[in-house]
Amino acid sequence: MESQHTEHHNSSQRRQEIAKRRTFAIISHPDAGKTTLTEKLLLYSNAVDLAGSVRTRKNQRHATSDWMTMEQERGISITSTVLQFQYDSHTINLLDTPGHQDFSEDTYRTLMAVDSAVMVLDAAKGIEPQTRKLFEVCRMRHIPILTFINKMDHMAREPLELLDEIEKILGIPAAAMNWPIGDGPAFQGVYDLAKQQVLRFTRTEHGQRKAPLTVSDVNDPKLKEALGDKAHRTLQEEIELLSVAGAAFNEEQFRQGKLTPVYFGSALNNFGVEPFLQELVRLAPAPQARLTTGEATVDPYSDDFSAFVFKIQANMNPKHRDSVAFVRICSGKFTKDMVVEHPRYPKGLRLTRPYQLFAKERVSLDEAYPGDVVGLANPGLFAIGDTLSTGTPVQFQPLPRFQPEFFAAVHNKDSSKHKQFHKGLEQLVREGAIQRLHRADQSHVPLLAAVGELQFQVLEARLASEYNVQIDIEFLPFSAAKRIIAAASTVQQVAWPNRALHVLDDDGNPVVLFASDWDLRFCRDKHAHLDLQFEDLGFTVAAAS
C-alpha cells in the first residue's frame, strides 16, 4: 500500500517535471544575434545577473585546447553547449547550434533533439542562407518555430516586407504577434496585438541589465509625444491593417510547423525579450513523443526510460582526452548509475558520470527527465543515433544523414603512423563528424565527405592533437555525390564521365562523385536505358538562395 502510494507520487511528480520542460534550439545566420538573444534569455530568467557572462565563458572555453584555439582564431564556435535554466516555473533546455557558414552535420543533428526552434532574423537582412538551411531541417521534422526579428533599433526593413519574405521564401504563413513601435534610434518597443497593449522599454547601459518597461494603451499621449504625430499615425494604421490583412495565429498549424508566430525586438537593448520568453514557454511544446523503427511512438510520460545519442564531443577537456556523448532523454526518468539496455552491450550499460553542461562548466547530475540533455562520459562506448532504454526494448528511428557538399582525399604524411591514422579516422567517422568513402581502385586513399568545409580542418587538428598524425588534405572538385542503386554488373558496364569518380561507401555500395549538376544530368540521361537509381547520401538541405 505504502509503496503503491510512493509510486503514484513519483509518477505524478515526473509528469509535472516533463510538462514544464521546453527544449529548443536557435536557428539563425551568423551575426543575426543568436548569442545576444541567448544571453538575454538567461538575463530575464535570472540565470545570470549581468548579460555578457556567456561571452566571457565562451572566451575562457577557447583557451582550453588547440582545437578550440582554432575556433578562437576563426572567431566561431564549433562546439555545441546545452544550457538549462528556469523561467516562470518552466525548465528550459536551450541547445546551441554552431552557426558559422562552415557548419557541420552536428548543427543539423542538434535539431533532431529539440521539440521546437526559435528563428532569429536580422531586421535589416531578413532570411539569410543559413537560416534557410536550418529551417529546411526543422521542416523535415515538422518542428514548431517561433520567429524573433532582431535589431529593430537599427536601420530595419519594413516589418510587412519581412513577414512577406518569410512567407515567400519559407512557404509558411507568418503571423505577427506584436508590432514594432518606431524603428532605428526611435525604436520604442512593441505593441502586443492580442493584449492590445503598448510595451515601451527604456535603454540601459550596454543592455547589461533588464530594461525598465511601461505598459500603456496605443492612444497614450506620452507615446504620441515620443513618436511624433506621423509615426504614431503609421503605427495605428499598421495595427488596423494587420487586423484585417495579416495571417492570423493558429496554434494547431504552429504545432505542426506550418505557421510561425513573429515577434519584433532588439536583443542588444533588451527590447521585447521578456515578452518573447513568456510566449516561448506558453507556445513551445513540452517534450514530444518519438518514433521508433517499428513506426510506433514512445510517449514521454511512459514509465520506461529511453534516450538517444545525438552528439559525441571529443576533446572537451584535453587534459583528460575525454569524450562526452550527449543524450536526449525521451521518456521515463534518468537516474545516475542506472543500468540501460544497449544493442551492442547485451549485459546492459551502467550510466555513470552523468553531467549537465552550462557552457564549459560541468555539474554532476543525479536525475533528469524527458526533454533534458545529459552528457555521459564516453570512453568509446556510444555512437551517434544509439538508443538507450529500460523495460521493453525500443529502437528509435535512425538519425538522418545529410548530403555532403565537400569532398577531399586525405593523405597520411608519415606511413609509420598508419595505425593511428586509421584509428583516428574510424573514431571521427563514428562520431558522425565526417562521412568516409573508399576509392574503388587499389590506392587505399580514404576519401572523406562533409557538410561543411571546416570539418576537414577540425579533422586535421584532431588527428594531430589526439593521434599525433599529420595529414595533407586534398580538396576534390566534386559538388554532387550519388549512391547508385543497380545490380553490380550493371554498374560495371557504365562508362562514367572523365570528370566523375566512382567510389564505394562504408557498406561497399557504389557512389559516384560528379563535378557538376550538369555532368550528373548528362550521365543520367545517357544511361537512362540502364534504369540506374541515383540516390543522395543523406537528406538534402535546399540550396541557399
Binding site for ligand G4P (CB under 6 A): 28, 30-36, 99, 150-151, 153-154, 266-269
Task: Count Cα atoms within 13 angstroms, Cβ side, for 503.
Answer: 27
Compare residues 208 and 457 and give the one whose CB is closer to ligand G4P.
Answer: 208
Q: At its nearest, how many Å lie between ligand G4P and the CB of residue 150?
A: 5
471-475 and 406-412 beta bridge pairing: antiparallel
Q: At its nearest, how many Å lie between ligand G4P and the CB of residue 31?
A: 4
Cell of 271: 527590447
Compare residues 30 and 370 and give the one whose CB is closer to ligand G4P.
Answer: 30
Sheet arrangement for strand 533-535: 471-475, 406-412, 446-450, 435-439, 501-505, 510-514, 480-485, 533-535
Q: At its nearest, how many Å lie between ligand G4P and the CB of residue 99?
A: 6
Compare residues 28 and 435 and give the one whose CB is closer to ligand G4P.
Answer: 28
Compare residues 34 and 61 and give the one whose CB is closer to ligand G4P.
Answer: 34
From 105, 87, 16, select the one nearest 403 (Cα to Cα): 105
Compare residues 35 and 412 and give the one whose CB is closer to ligand G4P.
Answer: 35
Q: At its nearest, how many Å lie between ligand G4P and the CB of residue 533?
A: 40
Secondary structure letter of residue 138 according to DSSP: H
Residues 6+ apart with CB under 8 A from 210: 43, 44, 204, 270, 274
**Helix, strand or coil, per DSSP, at residue 41:** helix
**Helix, strand or coil, per DSSP, at residue 215:** strand
Q: At its nearest, how many Å lie between ligand G4P and the CB of residue 151?
A: 4
CA distances from 493 to 486, 488, 489, 535 (A): 11, 9, 7, 19
As a whole number of angstroms, the distance between CA 215 and CA 198 comes to 6
Is 453 within 8 Å of 521 (Cβ atoms)? no
Q: At its nearest, how many Å lie between ligand G4P and the CB of residue 174?
A: 19
Q: Which residue matches cell numbers 543515433? A: 385
Is 396 within 8 Å of 293 (Cβ atoms)? yes
The number of angstroms, rounded, from the C-alpha of 13 to the middle of its chain's C-alpha atoms is 29
Q: At its nearest, how many Å lie between ligand G4P and the CB of residue 83?
A: 14
From 486, 476, 481, select the one nearest 517 (Cα to Cα): 481
Q: At its nearest, how many Å lie between ligand G4P and the CB of residue 265?
A: 7
Task: List, in sequence order, every beta strand (DSSP E) within 465-535.
Answer: 471-475, 480-485, 501-505, 510-514, 533-535
As a whole number of angstroms, the distance between CA 466 and CA 343 comes to 28
Q: At its nearest, how many Å lie between ligand G4P and the CB of residue 71?
A: 13
306-314 and 354-358 beta bridge pairing: unpaired
Q: At its nearest, how many Å lie between ligand G4P and the CB of residue 131?
A: 10
Is 388 within 8 Å of 341 (Cβ atoms)? yes
Task: Count Cα atoms within 13 angstroms, Cβ side, for 462.
Answer: 27
Q: At its nearest, how many Å lie between ligand G4P and the CB of residue 206?
A: 9
Compare residues 264 and 326 and give the one whose CB is closer to ligand G4P.
Answer: 264
As a whole number of angstroms, the distance between CA 492 and CA 45 comes to 62
Compare residues 33 and 182 and give the one whose CB is closer to ligand G4P.
Answer: 33
From 300, 384, 304, 375, select the one nearest 336 (Cα to Cα): 375
Is 169 within 8 Å of 163 (Cβ atoms)? no
Q: At its nearest, how many Å lie between ligand G4P and the CB of residue 202?
A: 15
Compare residues 23 and 266 and give the one whose CB is closer to ligand G4P.
Answer: 266
Task: List, in sequence order, every beta strand (DSSP E) within 202-296.
Answer: 213-216, 260-264, 290-291
Q: At its nearest, how many Å lie between ligand G4P and the CB of residue 38?
A: 8
Compare residues 30 and 182 and give the one whose CB is closer to ligand G4P.
Answer: 30
Compare residues 274 and 386 and give the one whose CB is closer to ligand G4P.
Answer: 274
The continuous run of DSSP H or E covering 423 comes out as: helix 418-430
Compare residues 54 and 198 and give the one whose CB is closer to ligand G4P.
Answer: 54
Compare residues 34 and 482 and give the one whose CB is closer to ligand G4P.
Answer: 34
Compare residues 31 and 414 and give the one whose CB is closer to ligand G4P.
Answer: 31
From 428, 466, 465, select the one nearest 446 (Cα to Cα): 428
